[in-house]
Structure 1
Amino acid sequence: MANLYDLKKFDLNLLVIFECIYQHLSISKAAETLYITPSAVSQSLQRLRTQFNDPLFIRSGKGITPTVTGIN
């Protein structure tokens, strides 16, 4: 996040989706838990990636793994 203006337009609902992805380490399981489609979770994750200028999660052998930024 670059400045306060960026923070003002940040959608805090994205943090709920991020936390769910982080807990399950799976977009499909997060979607199921949140009762939304995997596509909606992926789109939200893309918005977070753009906002933080980081992938936040990377694909691994058994799903996804958080990046250093994602952990912090």
Structure 2
Amino acid sequence: MMNIYELIRYMKDNVHEFWLEGNGNLNFRQSPLGTIKILKIEPKHYDLICNDCGIVIGHGFITEKIFCKECSDSRI
């Protein structure tokens, strides 16, 4: 069984996009046009991790994709 940090590292390396919702659903898409799949995990507070570089930028519930300042600035 993976902990949440191992799961996020795995997702970062193996799926196209993923996001964790506050209700405990980890949603992911394996390809840009793929079907959204949902993993149900225990809802609790998590470290907020940048969707691009993977650094921890806070703590709480994730409701959408988040990015650190550096990654956010480079996306503009």
Q: TM-score with structure 2 length normalisation? A: 0.28
Q: TM-score with structure 1 length normalisation? A: 0.29
Q: Which has the higher strand share?
A: 2
Q: Which has the higher helix share?
A: 1
